[in-house]
Amino acid sequence: MPTDHPESTYAVLGLIDKVPDSSGHELAAMADRSLAHFWPISRTLLYRELGRVVALGWAESERVEQTRVPSKSIYRTTSDGRRALADWLTRPVGKHSNFRSDLLLRLFFAHQMEAGQIERMLIDYKHALEVQRAEFDALVHKLSSLSSSQARFGRLSALHGLRTAEARLNWVEEAQQELGGDS
Amino acid sequence: MPTDHPESTYAVLGLIDKVPDSSGHELAAMADRSLAHFWPISRTLLYRELGRVVALGWAESERVEQTRVPSKSIYRTTSDGRRALADWLTRPVGKHSNFRSDLLLRLFFAHQMEAGQIERMLIDYKHALEVQRAEFDALVHKLSSLSSSQARFGRLSALHGLRTAEARLNWVEEAQQELGGDS
DNA sequence: AAGCCCATGTAATGAGTTACATGATTCG
DNA sequence: CGAATCATGTAACTCATTACATGGGCTT
């Protein structure tokens, strides 16, 4: 019964349900500002999933004619769709993490590299993490002020990213100390 | 010149170079014990990449006849392969993190869920993280005792996983406190 | 006799990415 | 006049996964 569909289908379905009567364009903008941090959805993928949820009868679309800007289709979840969503939410989470890290992969083979190159790589990683940390930090603070239940969960997601980034920055320190003390 | 190939190709190439004259079967076992934590490689993928690196001239294979167990092919990197590997190692890391989390995706839409179900989900996540932490912790300690330069980098990778798991466990605590204090 | 270890793949499928196409309108 | 915004897709591709196939030898 809980037929198997990719997680992205539910991501899009959830979005439609959360912000009904939005167009694909608007949903994409929403996703970029929120979901993107832990479940990136490219434009193409979004439109494909929109087609899918409609085909599944989980959402219905309505055409809205516009004159100044191009006409658009807007989406709403059906009762079937809301049921599918609720069902998915309670289904046990499959695999925690499909983690793949370009950095760790290289580090694993780093005995081949010169110390300076490894250091370089770590610094790049550190910079990327600092950007992440700043973004998540800003998000957490922004969402702390709002107090809707929606914002609460958004804040928790951001906090997850923040804590992860912090821990990894600490790891970079550790790694640098360990690798710096020789050669 | 640095023609574009998937990271997994270099993962396999690196493995061959690290443990020369191993069969696909042996390499797969190695990968499961090490790489798997930050760059999982399925059996099928491994064999495909073995074919690819040979086709590219980055490795050469030799047939080894065996009587008690099935015969096997063993692999060695060529000088071209070692060059490709060194080249890849110094190439700047593309995108840091393709992070996708089933848990966060669900949490993002959790306003629909009952408090008990959310709690359940967090507990499952916590358990998974505890397993991860234990695994990484064991690995770090095991690799701390060895002192080859190879083990050093393995240890750092494991430490990355450990720190990440620890931070996320702390996050679960935070989340539980925040969500526990109401309804 | 059941089942795991060695050993290597093929076939089918699908999720997701990148590049490209279109075309009107509004803003600097 | 150029760029950005709104708006929606198609086409081509490829990484990776899952299921399946094979088959002898060794252990319980």
Which B residues 127-156 have CB within 7 Å of strand C?
none
| CA separation for the pair A153, B106 (Å, rounded) | 10
> Are B164 and A166 an interchain contact pair (Cβ–Cβ within 8 Å)?
no
Please give the share of chain B, as a percent, with pLDDT higher than 90.
Answer: 81
Which alpha helices (DSSP H) does B34-183 contain, by range?
43-55, 79-90, 102-108, 115-145, 149-180
- Write down the pLDDT at residue B182: 55
What pLDDT is attached to residue A92?
Answer: 83
The confidence score (pLDDT) of residue B96 equals 64
A63 touches chain B (CB under 8 A): no
So what's the pLDDT on residue A105? 96
* pLDDT single digits (tens) B94-140: 776 778 999 999 999 998 899 999 999 999 999 999 999 999 999 99
Q: Is the pLDDT of residue A67 over 90?
A: no
**Contacts for A96 with CB less than 8 Å, ≥ 6 apart:** B101, B102, B103, B125, B128, B129
pLDDT at position A96: 64
Residue A182 has pLDDT above 60, yes or no: no
Nearest to A168 by CA among A111, A110, A107, A112: A107
> How deeply is B75 buried, as exposed, middle or buried, from its count of CB atoms within 10 A (0-12, 13-18, 19+)?
buried
Identify the three-state secondary structure at position A64: strand
3-state secondary structure of B84: helix
- Output the pLDDT for position B3: 75
Interface of A with B in 87-126 (CB under 8 A): 88-90, 92-113, 117, 121, 124-125
- Backbone φ and ψ of A75, nearest 5°: -125, 150
The two tokens of residue B25 are 């079967």
Residues 6+ apart with CB under 8 A from B104: A38, A39, A157, A160
When pLDDT is cut at 50, 70 and 90, the band that residue B156 belongs to is very high
Chain A interface includes B18 (CB < 8 A)? yes
On whether any CB of chain A is under 8 Å from the CB of B159, the answer is yes
Nearest nt to the CA of A69 via C1' is D6
Higher pLDDT, A97 or B119: B119
pLDDT at B54: 97
Question: pTM surpassing 0.75?
Answer: yes
| Percentage, residues of chain A above pLDDT 70 | 96
Q: How far apart are CA A46 and CA A29, in angstroms?
A: 11
Whether A103 contacts A120, CB under 8 Å: no
